[in-house]
């Protein structure tokens, strides 16, 4: 972290009366090397966690329509919706399980800084999430869900166009668990700061669909959790 010190510089200047000018104080900026620490924290879901990944099929359809250009809508037939496929494609998957996007936790930590009066612009540069792996389809960095399996639920929603729709999404029942590994700048945050910040994420910000800090609504109360304990590296590795 940068530290500001002062250095006294003597400037010899001839004044009109032949005297010498006094001392001038000039600031010097010293930049220290990064002081990065890590902490692993086990969390447990207090409410349901919902995912709503943009499906591969939807991406392919969008790409095809963009490639077709102005003729894209001519004579188009709407295919029947496969709700089971929608449920499967809305999940983030590791080779041997499921995961939560690491970026969701980082965004939530930065957002929670507003509750503490801490500058979000600084926290963006001081806190990071260590992923447990990458999504099998698009490589999204993921934090492993260590307990719980998804169940399919259908809810009526309203699309941005205003059209009503039924959406099948994966839900993890309350009691789901994960170990969140956080790398942070120890010149900005302490261990206690990071743990307390994640606690605020769990009870005030949330993660996933329907979280209280949702950008487009006040949420559904989903994606909340509690901090259970910090985890030693040996114990953490056993969960993976």
- Mean pLDDT (10-residue bins), the chain, 240 residues: 51 48 68 95 97 69 62 64 89 97 97 95 96 95 98 87 86 98 97 97 96 89 97 57
Total domains present in the chain: 1
- Kindly state whether residue 28 falls inside one of the protein's structural domains: no
Instruction: Report yes or no on 92 lying in a domain.
Output: yes
Cβ contacts of 173 within 8 Å, gap of 6 or more: 45, 48, 148, 151
Closest CA relative to residue 219, chosen from 207, 229, 231, 237: 207
pLDDT in tens, 75-111: 566 778 888 988 999 999 999 999 999 999 999 999 9
Range of the domain at 233: 33-68+80-238
Q: What is the pLDDT of residue 113?
A: 96
Q: How far apart are CA 55 and CA 169, in angstroms?
A: 11
In degrees rounded to 5, what are phi and psi of residue 208? 80, -170
The token pair that represents 38 in the structure block? 């890590």
Backbone angles phi, psi at 150, to 5 degrees: -75, 145
Encoded tokens for 54 = 């943009």
**Helix intervals (H) in the chain:** 56-68, 83-89, 102-116, 120-123, 191-200, 233-238
Segment 174-198, tens digit of pLDDT: 999 999 999 999 999 999 999 999 9
Q: Is the residue at 100 inside a domain?
A: yes
Q: Is residue 165 included in any domain, yes or no?
A: yes
Contact in structure between 195 and 38 (CB atoms under 8 Å)? no
Is residue 15 included in any domain, yes or no? no
Q: How far apart are CA 200 and CA 32, in angstroms?
A: 30
Is residue 141 within a helix (H) or strand (E), and if so which, with residue range? Answer: strand 141-147
Q: Residues 1, 33: contact at Cβ < 8 Å?
A: no
Q: Which residue has the tokens 């690491």?
A: 102
Give the CA angle between residues 20, 24, 27 to the nearest 5°: 165
Q: What is the pLDDT of residue 215?
A: 84
Does some domain include residue 185?
A: yes
């Amino acid at each position: 972290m940068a530290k500001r010190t002062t250095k006294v510089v003597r400037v010899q200047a001839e004044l009109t009366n032949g005297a010498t000018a006094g001392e001038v104080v000039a600031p010097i900026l010293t930049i220290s090397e990064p002081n990065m620490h890590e902490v692993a924290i086990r969390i447990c879901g207090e409410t349901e966690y919902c995912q709503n990944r943009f499906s591969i099929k939807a991406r392919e359809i969008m790409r095809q329509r963009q490639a077709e250009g102005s003729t894209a809508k001519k004579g188009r037939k709407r295919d029947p919706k496969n709700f089971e496929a929608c449920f499967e494609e809305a999940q983030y998957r590791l080779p041997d399980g499921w995961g939560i996007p690491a970026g969701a936790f980082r965004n939530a930590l930065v957002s929670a800084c507003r509750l503490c009066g801490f500058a979000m612009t600084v926290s963006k540069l001081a806190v990071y999430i260590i992923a447990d792996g990458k999504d099998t389809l698009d490589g999204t960095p993921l934090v492993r869900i260590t307990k719980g399996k998804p169940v399919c639920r259908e809810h009526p929603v309203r699309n941005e166009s205003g059209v009503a729709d039924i959406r099948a999404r994966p839900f993890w029942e309350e009691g789901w668990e994960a170990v969140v590994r956080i790398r942070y700048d120890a010149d900005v945050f302490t261990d206690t700061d990071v743990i307390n910040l994640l606690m605020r994420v769990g009870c005030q910000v949330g993660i996933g669909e329907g979280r209280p800090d949702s950008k487009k609504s006040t949420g559904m109360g989903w994606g909340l959790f509690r901090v259970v304990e910090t985890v030693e590296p040996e114990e953490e590795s056993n969960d993976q």
